Amino acid sequence: MFGSAELPVLEALWEKGALTGREIYEEVRRSKELAYTTVLTTVGRMVKKGSIRRKKRDGIYIFEPALKKPEFERQAAAAVIKGIVEVSPSYAVSAFVDILTQYDADKLDEILNIIEEKRKAEGR
């Protein structure tokens, strides 16, 4: 889905807002040792993929994320879960519950409420 250099670019844009290529590089290199050209190549690919947008302002390209972080996280989670569910829905749910219980057992009640609301909305 995303290369190892792409998430730091998105994180920088979500944190700082619209940035130039040089500004993205300066932010990314704080957490990841990458060459300037690598960061710019990554940014170019991300523009082509549609994960970030590019605007020209005063002769300089400014980049911004195409999605806000919560929207991105939801889409990324949905893509991963869809792939897992396609293999085995029952095992996917069972594994999810096991992992979630290890992480935060209180989240199970929250998830049950979400399921119940979805059922009500669909008239089940």
Q: In 63-72, which positions are buried (b, 16+ CB within 10 angstroms) versus exposed (e)?
A: bebebeeeeb
Q: Are 97 and 108 in contact (CB under 8 A)?
A: yes
What is the pLDDT tens value at each position of the chain, 124 positions in all? 567 789 999 999 999 999 999 999 999 999 888 999 999 999 999 999 999 999 999 999 999 999 999 999 898 888 888 888 888 888 888 888 888 888 887 888 888 888 899 999 988 7
- Please name the residue that has the structure tokens 């970030």: 52
